Copies of this chain bind each other. A is one copy, B any other.
Amino acid sequence: MGSSPQARGLMGALMVRSLILLSLLAGAVVGGRNQVRHYNFDVEYVFGAPDCKEHVVMGINGQFPGPTIRAKAGDTVVVHLTNKLHTEGVVIHWHGIRQLGTPWADGTASISQCAINPGEVFTYRFLVDKPGTYFYHGHYGMQRSAGLYGSLIVDVAEGEREPFHYDGELNLLLSDWWHQSVHEQEVGLSSAPMRWIGEPQSLLLNGRGQYNCSLAAQYSNSSSKQCKLRGGEKCAPMIMNVQPKKTYRLRIASTTALASLNLAIGNHKMLVVEADGNYVQPFLVDDLDIYSGESYSVLITTNQNPKNNYWVSVGVRGREPKTPQGLTLLNYLPNSASKLPVSPPPVTPRWDDYNHSKTFSKSVLARMGSPKPPRFYNRRMILLNTQNMINGHTKWAINNVSLVLPATPYLGSVKFLLNHTFDQRSPPESYPANYDIMKPPVNTNTTTSSGVYRLKFKSTVDVILQNTNAIKANVSEIHPWHLHGHDFWVLGYGEGKFSKNDEKKLNLKNPPLRNTAVIFPYGWTALRFVADNRGVWAFHCHIEPHLHMGMGVIFDIEGRFVRGIPSEALACGATGRMMTKDGKYH
C-alpha cells in the first residue's frame, strides 16, 4: 500500500470530511424524518441468461438480480413478499441488517420463521439503523444459488453526511453461477457418495457474466473467443459510467455460493472505507479480496487518462480457479463503452497466495471513534471446522456436530418451550486437546444435531473459529462465517491451533466490526460479540453447499423472552399445531 499522489488526495479528502462529520454525529441516527419504505416482491422463476446461456433463475418482480432496496438510516423497510413459486417455500434474509427487536424478520427458514408457502404473502418489517452496503438473499435450501438476491443500500440519515466525500456512486453485487440446476446440486450434495458441485461456470457482476466468450479475449492468447454483445443483451456487462476527475464510492458485495473473489480496476487504486456496514480505517489497495457474505465500500478517483476506459475484473481466490474472470468496464465519459481499454484486465493474485489475502484481511481495522469491544468475555467457545462422513454422506461439522435444521422454526420452539422439536443437548464448546489440525481427522464419523448454544442476554461471547485439514490430506479450505442479528469484532487471525499464547495478540484496540469473517487454511480467527439482541440466530459458513452440508451453529439468545412475533411467522410445524386445541376442527 504505497502513498501515490492519488492515495494522498483520497486520504486528505477523507480526513477533512471526518472532522466535519464528527461534529455532526452528535444527533441520534433515528431522527424525526424517518420514512417507511414499502416494497412489493413477487418471487418466481423466470428465464434468464446470467452468463449468456439461458437458464431458469429465481427472480423478483421478473428481475434478476432482484430490485435494489434503498433507504436511509433510521427508516423502516417493509417488504411484502408474495411467493409465486409453484411448490417451493421461500424466505429472504436481509444480510447485515441486525433486526434489532425483530428477530422474526431475519428471513431464515427453520430458524426465525416458517418458509412462506406458495400463494402466500409475508410482510418483513424492520429498522435499518445503520448506513452501509448490504444485500438480501434467499435462506432456504440453496435458493440463494438459484439467483434469489439483490442489493440493500442504506444511506446516512436525513441531514447527516458520510464521513468521506464522493461525487457519485457505483454498485457491484458479485455472485457465481452454475449451469446445473440448484435442485440437482442439492440432490448431488446430499447423495452418498456426495457429488460436488464443482467450480462455478461463471462469475457475475450485477447478475451478468459471459460464459461462451470473453470481453477481453483480444488481449490474451487463450482460446476463448471475443464476445459479440451489443449491450442490450441480458448478459451484457453493466457498464460503470464515470466522469473524469471525480471521486466515486464503489459499493461491492459478494453473495457467491462458493467463490472467494478478488476485484481490481485497471490503473486505479481503491481506498477501502467501509466493511459490512461499518466504517473502517481507510486503507489503499490495488486489489480487494471479498468473501461470500462480505461487503465493502471503496473510493476511487477517476484521475487516469480520460481518453481511455479501464477494466474492472473479478477473479477466484482460495480455490484453484477454473472459472474465467468476471469483467466490466469503468467507462470514462464521454468515451464510448465500445472503446476497449489499452491494457488487459488486471490479473487476480495467485489463488493460493494466502499471504496476500491475510494482509488484506488484517488491514481491515475500525475507524477511529467506532465502538470498542468489551475488554473481557463472559464465555468463549472454540469451534473446530471439520469435514466428516455419515454413512457415506459427506458433511461439514462443528466440534463433531453437523447441523440439521428442524421443521419447526427455533424461534417458536424456544419461545413456547416446545422441547421435542429440536435436540435439547447443546453441542460441545471445544474439541479434544490432542486433535491434530494439520492432518485429516483420525475418525471421520460425525453426528447430526439440531441442538443450539444458549447465550445469556447481554453477555460477551468469544468465538474462536479453528480451521483444520479436511478429509483429504493437505487440504484446508477457506470458510467465511456469517453471524445473524449482530456484528462481531474481529480480534485477530492466526496460524495453527489457537492457544493461550495467542490471547495477548488479540486486538482489543481497534478491531473491525463485521458480520462476516473468514478463517484461513490451518488457521484460526477470533471473534467477540455482545449478545444483546434477543432471538435465535444462525452463525454459519456462508458457502451455500457447506451450510447445506451442516456447517453452522445456532445461538439462542433468550428467545424465550421475545415478544410480538407475528403469528404468520410461525404458522407451521409444532407452533402451527400448538394453535389448535385438540388437533381437530369442530
The reply to whether B141 and A115 form a contact with Cβ atoms under 8 Å apart is no
A41 within 8 A of B: no
Q: How far is the CA of A543 from the CA of B585 in the complex (A)?
A: 34
Listed by A's residue number, 22 A-B pairs whose Cβ atoms lie within 8 Å are A45-B186, A46-B191, A47-B188, A56-B187, A86-B142, A86-B186, A87-B88, A87-B115, A87-B140, A87-B143, A110-B119, A114-B117, A117-B117, A117-B572, A118-B407, A119-B407, A120-B407, A120-B572, A563-B586, A564-B584, A565-B584, A567-B580
Q: How far is the CA of A583 from the CA of B563 in the complex (A)?
A: 13
Chain A 121-148, CB-CB to B under 8 Å as 1, else 0, gives 0000000000000000000111100000
A494 within 8 A of B: no
A196 within 8 A of B: no
Q: How far is the CA of A141 from the CA of B117 in the complex (A)?
A: 13
Residues from chain B with a CB closer than 8 A to the CB of A564 are 584
Residues from chain B with a CB closer than 8 A to the CB of A568 are 577, 583
Residues from chain B with a CB closer than 8 A to the CB of A191 are 46-47
- Kindly report which residue of chain B lies nearest to residue A104, judged by CB atoms: B585
A496 within 8 A of B: no
Nearest Cβ on chain B to A139's Cβ, whole angstroms: 11
Chain A 161-203, CB-CB to B under 8 Å as 1, else 0, gives 0000000000000000000010110111011000000000000
Q: How many copies of the chain does the oligomer comprise?
A: 2
Instruction: Known A-B contacts: A567-B583, A576-B576. Give 12 more (CB < 8 A).
Output: A46-B187, A110-B119, A115-B117, A115-B118, A117-B407, A183-B183, A563-B586, A567-B584, A567-B585, A568-B583, A571-B572, A572-B576
Residues from chain B with a CB closer than 8 A to the CB of A407 are 117-120
Residues from chain B with a CB closer than 8 A to the CB of A118 are 89, 115, 407
A579 within 8 A of B: yes
The reply to whether B120 and A573 form a contact with Cβ atoms under 8 Å apart is yes
Residues from chain B with a CB closer than 8 A to the CB of A406 are 119
Interface residues of chain A, those whose CB is within 8 Å of chain B, are 45-47, 56, 86-90, 110, 114-115, 117-120, 140-143, 181, 183-184, 186-188, 190-191, 405-407, 412, 415-416, 563-568, 570-573, 576-577, 579-580, 583-586
Q: How far is the CA of A190 from the CA of B84 in the complex (A)?
A: 11
The reply to whether B571 and A416 form a contact with Cβ atoms under 8 Å apart is no
Residues from chain B with a CB closer than 8 A to the CB of A56 are 183-184, 187
Residues from chain B with a CB closer than 8 A to the CB of A88 are 87-89
- Kindly report which residue of chain B lies nearest to residue A143, judged by CB atoms: B87
Interface centre among A89, A119, A576 (most CB of B within 10 A): A576
Nearest Cβ on chain B to A210's Cβ, whole angstroms: 22
Q: How far is the CA of A565 from the CA of B191 in the complex (A)?
A: 37
Q: How far is the CA of A187 from the CA of B573 in the complex (A)?
A: 29
Nearest Cβ on chain B to A356's Cβ, whole angstroms: 37
Nearest Cβ on chain B to A80's Cβ, whole angstroms: 14
Q: How far is the CA of A564 from the CA of B585 in the complex (A)?
A: 6
Nearest Cβ on chain B to A104's Cβ, whole angstroms: 10
Residues from chain B with a CB closer than 8 A to the CB of A181 are 181, 183-184
The reply to whether B579 and A566 form a contact with Cβ atoms under 8 Å apart is no
- Kindly report which residue of chain B lies nearest to residue A116, judged by CB atoms: B407
Residues from chain B with a CB closer than 8 A to the CB of A120 are 407, 572-573
Nearest Cβ on chain B to A395's Cβ, whole angstroms: 15
- Kindly report which residue of chain B lies nearest to residue A407, judged by CB atoms: B119
Q: How far is the CA of A186 from the CA of B181 in the complex (A)?
A: 14
Residues from chain B with a CB closer than 8 A to the CB of A187 are 45-47, 56
Nearest Cβ on chain B to A82's Cβ, whole angstroms: 10
**With A56-B183, A580-B579: A415-B585 Cβ-Cβ less than 8 Å:** yes
Residues from chain B with a CB closer than 8 A to the CB of A184 are 56, 181
Nearest Cβ on chain B to A190's Cβ, whole angstroms: 8
Q: How far is the CA of A390 from the CA of B467 in the complex (A)?
A: 56
Residues from chain B with a CB closer than 8 A to the CB of A571 are 571-572, 576-577, 579-580
**With A119-B406, A141-B86, A187-B46: A584-B566 Cβ-Cβ less than 8 Å:** yes
Interface centre among A119, A143, A564 (most CB of B within 10 A): A119
Nearest Cβ on chain B to A64's Cβ, whole angstroms: 13
Nearest Cβ on chain B to A447's Cβ, whole angstroms: 18
Residues from chain B with a CB closer than 8 A to the CB of A586 are 563
Q: How far is the CA of A566 from the CA of B188 in the complex (A)?
A: 36
The reply to whether B573 and A567 form a contact with Cβ atoms under 8 Å apart is no
Residues from chain B with a CB closer than 8 A to the CB of A89 are 87-89, 117-118
Q: How far is the CA of A88 from the CA of B118 in the complex (A)?
A: 9
- Kindly report which residue of chain B lies nearest to residue A567, judged by CB atoms: B580
